[in-house]
């Protein structure tokens, strides 16, 4: 099979489009013919400086496709089924082998490319807002990177829950487009201090829940932007800023800082997470959840796809199509 691989971490230019051996279907897993790869923020970070599981390394958390082979111990999947799958790596390829527990069946009336974007981004947003953020009706949520996968999902979920939704983005154009997804107030972080903006928009109170996928200095500002007893969920380091915030600033206002890794929840609390993602896929089918695809690139053009994400120009998801 063909795959986008690399032998060392670095910029997008480390990718090579090469022939590699097909993955092996395990007894408790399935082999998938990949139709669409949703490039996740973690994929970009891992390519830039993560651990190589092998050489050549095939990066990638999430993809959707058609089951080509079913393991001997799997009773509830069949060849030809459409599924979306999650794993620690291996999505940037024509074929992928995963444990069946990390797959979800995609209904016939759901676009496979859109389904490829759901589990990680929407599941993460759900956990940041509700499982760990404990967002309630009438509260205010601040969501960073509103035009990204987690951000756009978070805006929709928070609005549906009856919250006032604030989000940051890098341009007024992006913020204007986010209004149709439920954004109440947009903050262009390139033009004004978002802490000041949040305070102004909330009458000085701050946000009850902050979803921070940026990290570093932004995370420290997110703590400042949170209300008394506010919950700040730290879910990424897209800013590649190694600065470590001063967590003592949490104490005076009884704020909470919570680190979130969706993969751990999927592994350790599968009985909660798997049906939750199923529900989001069902919402996609009935139009209660929307996915926006910014652009599609052939798998052979993984370099350009990753560059598109790093440009910060994308609005929605960037896909690779094998």
52 with 132, same domain?
Answer: no
Residue 41 binned pLDDT confidence (cut-offs 50, 70, 90): very high
Q: Is residue 252 part of a domain?
A: yes
Q: Tell me whether residue 180 is in a domain.
A: yes
Residue 44 domain flag: yes
Q: How confident is the model at residue 238 (pLDDT cuts 50, 70, 90)?
A: confident
Q: What is the reported pTM?
A: 0.96
Write the pLDDT tens digit of every residue in 173-205. 999 999 999 999 999 999 999 999 999 999 999
Do 150 and 206 have their domain in common? yes
Looking at the structure, do residues 128 and 61 belong to the same domain, yes or no?
no
Residue 277 in this model has a pLDDT that exceeds 90: yes
Long-range contact set of residues 180-189: C-beta below 8 Å, sequence gap at least 24: 181/152, 181/155, 181/156, 181/290, 182/155, 182/156, 182/158, 183/146, 183/155, 183/159, 184/159, 186/146
Which of 215, 248, 263 corresponds to the end of one domain? Answer: 263
In a domain? residue 103: yes
Mean pLDDT of 224-244: 93
**φ, ψ (nearest 5 deg) of residue 218:** -65, -40
Same structural domain for residues 111 and 181? Answer: no
**Do 289 and 309 contact (CB within 8 A), yes or no?**
no
Residues 101 and 148 in one domain: no
Give yes or no: residues 91 and 170 share one domain. no
134 and 259 share a domain?
Answer: yes
103 with 166, same domain?
Answer: no
| Residue 256 forms part of a structural domain | yes
**CATH number, residue 305:** 3.90.180.10
113 and 126 in a single domain? The answer is no
3-state secondary structure of 95: strand
Using CB atoms within 10 Å of the CB of residue 264, give its burial: 0 to 12 exposed, 13 to 18 middle, 19+ buried.
exposed
Other Cβ atoms less than 10 A from the Cβ of 258: the count is 16
Q: In this predicted structure, what is the pLDDT of residue 241?
A: 85
The DSSP symbol for 117 reads T
Going from the C-alpha of 185 to that of each of 81, 122, 145, 160, 315, the distances in angstroms are 41, 21, 13, 15, 17
Identify whether 208 is part of a domain: yes
Query: Do 102 and 171 fall within a single domain?
Result: no
My answer on whether 105 and 40 are in the same domain is yes
In a domain, 187, yes or no: yes
Mean of per-residue pLDDT scores for the chain = 97
Task: Count structural domains, the chain.
Answer: 2
Its domain, for residue 252, covers 122-263
Domain co-membership, 249 together with 143 = yes
Any domain includes 278: no
| 93 vs 191: CA distance, rounded Å | 40
CATH number of domain containing 188: 3.40.50.720
pLDDT band, very low/low/confident/very high, at 240 (cuts 50, 70, 90): confident
User: How would you label 61-85 residue by residue, b for 16+ Cβ within 10 Å and e otherwise?
Assistant: bbbbbebbbbbeebeebeeebbbbb
Q: What is d(CA 142, CA 164) in angstroms, rounded to the nearest whole number?
A: 9
pLDDT digits (tens, 9 = 90+) for 97-146: 999 999 999 999 999 999 999 999 999 999 999 999 999 999 999 999 99
């Amino acid at each position: 099979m063909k795959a986008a691989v690399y032998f060392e971490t670095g910029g997008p230019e480390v990718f090579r489009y090469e022939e590699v051996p097909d993955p092996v279907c395990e007894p408790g897993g399935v082999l998938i013919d990949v139709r669409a790869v949703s490039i996740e923020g973690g994929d970009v970070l891992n390519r830039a400086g993560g651990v190589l599981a092998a050489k050549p390394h095939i990066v990638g958390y999430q993809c959707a496709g058609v089951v080509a082979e079913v393991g001997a111990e799997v009773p509830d999947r069949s060849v030809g089924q459409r599924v979306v799958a999650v794993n620690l790596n291996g999505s940037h390829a024509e074929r992928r082998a995963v444990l069946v527990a990390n797959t979800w069946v995609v209904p016939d009336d759901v676009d496979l490319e859109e389904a490829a974007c759901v589990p990680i981004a929407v599941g993460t947003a759900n956990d940041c807002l509700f499982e760990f953020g404990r967002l309630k009706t009438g509260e205010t949520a601040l969501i960073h990177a509103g035009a990204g996968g987690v951000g756009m999902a978070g805006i929709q979920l928070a609005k549906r829950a009856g919250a006032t939704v604030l989000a940051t983005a890098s341009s007024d154009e992006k913020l204007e487009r986010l209004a149709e997804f439920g954004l109440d107030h947009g903050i262009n972080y390139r033009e004004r201090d978002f802490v000041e903006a949040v305070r102004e928009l909330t009458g000085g109170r701050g946000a009850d829940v902050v979803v921070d996928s940026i990290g570093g200095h932004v995370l420290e500002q997110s703590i400042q932007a949170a209300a008394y007893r506010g919950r700040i969920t730290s879910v990424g380091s897209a800013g590649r800023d190694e600065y470590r915030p001063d967590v003592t600033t949490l104490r005076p206002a009884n704020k909470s800082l919570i680190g979130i890794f969706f993969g751990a929840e999927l592994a350790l609390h599968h009985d909660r997470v798997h049906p939750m993602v199923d529900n989001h896929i069902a919402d996609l089918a009935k139009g209660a959840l929307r996915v926006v695809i910014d652009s599609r690139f052939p798998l052979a053009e993984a370099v350009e796809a990753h560059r598109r994400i790093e440009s910060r120009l994308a609005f929605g998801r960037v896909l690779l199509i094998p």
